[in-house]
């Protein structure tokens, strides 16, 4: 693969460049959740209604207390006291029941909403092109599928509900206080204006800090994943301490951001809690003066103060609700950053076709590349294209070896055939049919690939190999394993049903490569692309695999990236890729005789051949 592949730093810079610019709206971000919340809108409405009723019962208690003070306690009248005490108890039990109902009504539906969003995100990641995954760290995507969706679910369950409930409770409480005494009500509600101004400033700063923290959390997840998957390398080179320092540095950065968020929330909470307390004390003093001068009853003062105390939760929770709402908005932005990416890998149906045995209608023309150019989407401006005009014809039934110096673009070129990357210019045809006219699902049935770096999944040997042809029979599986000389499978604890572990790290490099080769040939593909498929094998195993592979190559059209003469000898002809073009095509012996650059590559003296030297 070319050295122009993006670095981790470039990935981070590209990701930041992809972020939306301009003035951001929290409400607009959260409204994008409506398609997911709509199926459970009735449940959310019931939850809001029950929570609102529960809050109103809380506000009703101070009214009853006022009547107790002005009635049975003032007269006194013990007979009239017990019904009012019973009413207070009843209101408390109703509030508890409504609280229970609210939690039960929303628990399962919102878990389903989270699951549906996660499934959509995962499906979208499968359809996005490889170029997208080159730009994004795996930890960033993982954090969006886990932590961000958890934040969104809690917002729908709590913050969204209580934003409405607490607003309703505050308005209802204000009405009750004005009914009790308008002077005290005005005094108590005086801090509302400065609190609203402060919350506006808080929202802007907290939203920025929240987004930064979520991105830093994703970067930290990437470091953890890389450290776990690369633990053998870290230990072998004694680099675990430097990786730990990298982790600590990123952790400190995340901690600083979280502390900044905490300070923002603390300042808001201090004002939101402090100003109403001052106002309440002033109202108490003024109320006591009014009671002393017979301008207000003691019961009315008790009812007013109890109502004010009942409103402490709706007021004090304002900071938490705003903080969580902003975190949910930034989490929603991060979710839709992925969902809004153009999905060039969109699934298309295929009816099975009615053409030749390969499912194509263009005849037996093999693989043909005409004027193919390619550059990575994030390659720096001014750098030349990696492929600058490739013309190559692999005849039907022929095996073509592709050779070239490291970084010449061999792997990139083979990735263009199954459309893992899109050619910048030019055309690629299979038996005369442009690959852009084929549904990707069908294209990847026709073209099987074995990569130089074999990737296995946390699944059984059977499941890993049959990814190449899910409908293949047991005979095809056995034949593919035999072709790849994967007899070691029979010695595994459960044979082909043995779990190979994450990344297949329980197997050796050669074993993983043989299973990847078996995966490529199990479906007897019409076109086969092999990227240096034997690089991890010992000489004896390589010879056995080559002997078995010749039979497979005899019945397919194949393009094989080769670095060693032994692999080149599997091919009918050889193509030399240099300077972004096919410089020479011929048999191995012809190129050894006529092409100095090819001769240097095969002898390991490529560095001695001047750039631009031709055959």
Do 408 and 552 lie in one domain? The reply is: yes
pLDDT, residue 7, reads 42
Distance, in Å, from the CA atom of 149 to the CA atom of 138, rounded to the nearest integer, reads: 16
**Residue 357 resides in a domain:** no
Do 307 and 382 lie in one domain? The reply is: no
**Residue 188 resides in a domain:** yes
Domain boundary among 292, 322, 339: 339
Residues 483, 484, 488, 492, CA torsion sign: negative
**Residue 19 resides in a domain:** no
User: CATH code at 80?
Assistant: 1.20.1560.10
Average pLDDT over the chain, rounded to whole?
Answer: 81
Q: Which of 182, 131, 56 is nearest to 420 (CA)?
A: 131
Distance, in Å, from the CA atom of 336 to the CA atom of 344, rounded to the nearest integer, reads: 17
pLDDT, residue 540, reads 75
**Residue 345 resides in a domain:** no
Q: What is the DSSP letter of 388?
A: E
Through-space distance between the first and last CA atoms of the chain, rounded to whole angstroms: 24
User: CATH code at 406?
Assistant: 3.40.50.300
Do 75 and 169 lie in one domain? The reply is: yes
SS3 state of residue 378 = coil
Under 8 Å between Cβ of 341 and 128: yes
**Residue 613 resides in a domain:** no
Per-residue pLDDT at 358 exceeds 60: no
Confidence of residue 605 (pLDDT cuts 50, 70, 90): low
Question: For the chain, percent helix, then strand, then coil, each to nearest 5?
Answer: 65, 10, 25
**Residue 486 resides in a domain:** yes
Per-residue pLDDT at 537 exceeds 80: no
Per-residue pLDDT at 335 exceeds 90: yes
Do 292 and 227 lie in one domain? The reply is: yes
Distance, in Å, from the CA atom of 601 to the CA atom of 4, rounded to the nearest integer, reads: 22
Least trusted range by pLDDT, from 109-118, 147-156, 181-190, 228-237: 228-237
What is the domain extent for residue 523? 367-608
Distance, in Å, from the CA atom of 179 to the CA atom of 458, rounded to the nearest integer, reads: 67
Do 187 and 273 lie in one domain? The reply is: yes
Q: What percent of the chain has pLDDT over 90?
A: 15
Distance, in Å, from the CA atom of 114 to the CA atom of 148, rounded to the nearest integer, reads: 10
Report how many domains make up the chain.
2
In this prediction, residues 389-416 reach a mean pLDDT of 90
Cβ-based burial of 320 (10 A; exposed 0-12, middle 13-18, buried ≥19): middle
In this prediction, residues 528-549 reach a mean pLDDT of 77
Distance, in Å, from the CA atom of 274 to the CA atom of 11, rounded to the nearest integer, reads: 45
Do 209 and 281 lie in one domain? The reply is: yes
**Residue 6 resides in a domain:** no
Q: Which of 522, 117, 524 is nearest to 334 (CA)?
A: 117
Residue bearing the bigger pLDDT, 241 or 150 = 150
pLDDT, residue 346, reads 47
Distance, in Å, from the CA atom of 551 to the CA atom of 399, rounded to the nearest integer, reads: 12
Do 504 and 564 lie in one domain? The reply is: yes
pLDDT digits (tens, 9 = 90+) for 123-133: 998 888 888 88
Confidence of residue 345 (pLDDT cuts 50, 70, 90): low
SS3 state of residue 77 = coil
Residue bearing the bigger pLDDT, 412 or 69 = 412
Neighbouring residues of 235: CB distance < 8 A, sequence distance ≥ 6: none
In angstroms, how far is CA 517 from the centroid of its own chain? 29
Domain boundary among 296, 322, 339: 339
Do 162 and 48 lie in one domain? The reply is: yes
SS3 state of residue 536 = coil
Do 388 and 515 lie in one domain? The reply is: yes
In this prediction, residues 437-463 reach a mean pLDDT of 85
Rounded to 5°, angle at Cα 70 from 64 and 74: 130
Residue bearing the bigger pLDDT, 494 or 73 = 494
Confidence of residue 615 (pLDDT cuts 50, 70, 90): very low
SS3 state of residue 336 = helix
**Residue 9 resides in a domain:** no
Reading the block at residue 176, the tokens are 């009750």
In this prediction, residues 388-400 reach a mean pLDDT of 92
Peptide bond into 76 cis (omega under 30): yes
pLDDT, residue 302, reads 82
Highest mean pLDDT among 422-436, 469-483, 491-505: 422-436
Do 324 and 375 lie in one domain? The reply is: no
Least trusted range by pLDDT, from 161-165, 350-354, 509-513, 537-541: 350-354
Confidence of residue 499 (pLDDT cuts 50, 70, 90): confident
Do 415 and 555 lie in one domain? The reply is: yes
pLDDT digits (tens, 9 = 90+) for 9-50: 444 444 444 444 445 688 899 999 999 999 888 888 888 788
The pTM score is 0.74
pLDDT, residue 23, reads 55
Per-residue pLDDT at 120 exceeds 90: yes
Do 234 and 308 lie in one domain? The reply is: yes
């Amino acid at each position: 693969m070319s050295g122009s592949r993006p670095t981790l730093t470039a990935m981070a810079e590209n990701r930041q460049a992809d972020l939306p610019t301009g003035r951001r709206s929290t409400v607009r971000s959260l409204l994008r959740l409506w398609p997911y919340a709509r199926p459970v809108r009735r449940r959310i409405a019931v939850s809001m209604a029950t929570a609102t009723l529960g809050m109103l019962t809380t506000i009703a208690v101070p009214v009853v207390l006022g009547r107790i003070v002005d009635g049975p306690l003032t007269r006194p009248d013990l007979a009239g006291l017990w019904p009012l005490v019973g009413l207070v108890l009843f209101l408390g039990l109703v509030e508890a029941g409504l609280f229970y109902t609210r939690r039960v009504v929303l628990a399962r539906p919102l878990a389903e909403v989270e699951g549906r969003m996660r499934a959509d995100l995962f499906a979208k990641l499968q359809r996005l092109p490889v170029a997208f995954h080159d730009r994004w760290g795996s930890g960033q995507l993982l954090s969006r599928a886990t932590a961000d969706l958890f934040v969104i679910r809690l917002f729908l369950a709590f913050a969204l509900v209580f934003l409405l409930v607490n607003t309703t409770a505050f308005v209802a409480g204000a009405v009750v206080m004005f009914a009790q005494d308008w002077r005290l009500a005005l005094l108590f509600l005086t801090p509302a204006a400065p609190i609203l101004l402060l919350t506006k400033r808080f929202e802007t700063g907290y939203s920025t800090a929240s987004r930064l923290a979520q991105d830093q959390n994703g970067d930290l997840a990437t470091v953890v994943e890389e450290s776990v998957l690369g633990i053998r390398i870290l230990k072998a080179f004694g680099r675990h301490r430097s990786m730990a320092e990298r982790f600590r540095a990123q952790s400190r950065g995340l901690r600083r951001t979280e502390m900044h968020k905490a300070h923002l929330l603390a300042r808001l909470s201090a004002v939101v809690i402090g100003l109403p307390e001052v106002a309440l004390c002033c109202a108490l003093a003024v109320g006591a003066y009014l009671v002393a001068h017979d301008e207000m009853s003691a019961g009315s003062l008790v009812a007013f103060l109890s109502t004010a105390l009942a409103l402490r939760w709706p007021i004090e929770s304002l900071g938490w609700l705003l903080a969580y709402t902003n975190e949910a908005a930034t989490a929603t932005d991060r979710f839709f950053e992925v969902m809004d990416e153009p999905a060039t890998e969109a699934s298309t149906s295929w009816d099975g076709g009615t053409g030749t045995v390969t499912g194509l209608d263009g005849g037996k023309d093999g693989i043909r590349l005409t004027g193919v150019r390619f550059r990575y989407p994030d390659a720096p401006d001014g750098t030349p294209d990696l492929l600058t005009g490739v013309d190559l014809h692999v005849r039907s039934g022929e095996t073509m070896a592709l050779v070239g110096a490291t970084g010449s673009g061999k792997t990139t070129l083979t990735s263009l055939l199954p459309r893992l990357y899109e050619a910048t210019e030019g055309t690629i045809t299979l038996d005369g049919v442009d690959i852009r006219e084929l549904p990707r699902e069908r294209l990847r049935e026709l073209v099987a690939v074995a990569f130089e770096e074999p990737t296995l999944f946390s699944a059984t040997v059977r499941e890993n190999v049959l990814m190449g042809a899910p409908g293949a029979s047991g005979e095809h599986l056995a034949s593919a394993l035999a072709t790849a000389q994967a007899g070691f499978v029979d010695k595994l604890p459960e044979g082909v049903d043995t779990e190979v572990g994450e990344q297949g790290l329980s197997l050796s490099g050669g074993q993983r490569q043989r299973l990847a080769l078996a995966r490529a040939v199990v479906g007897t593909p019409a076109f086969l692309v092999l990227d240096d498929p034997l690089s991890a094998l010992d000489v004896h195993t390589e010879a056995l695999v080559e002997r078995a592979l010749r039979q497979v190559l005899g019945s397919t059209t194949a393009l094989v990236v080769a670095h060693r003469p032994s692999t080149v000898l599997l091919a009918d002809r050889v193509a030399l890729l240099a300077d972004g073009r096919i410089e020479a095509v011929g048999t191995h012996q012809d190129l050894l005789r006529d092409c100095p650059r090819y001769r240097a590559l095969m002898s390991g003296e490529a560095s001695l051949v001047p750039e631009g030297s031709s055959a």
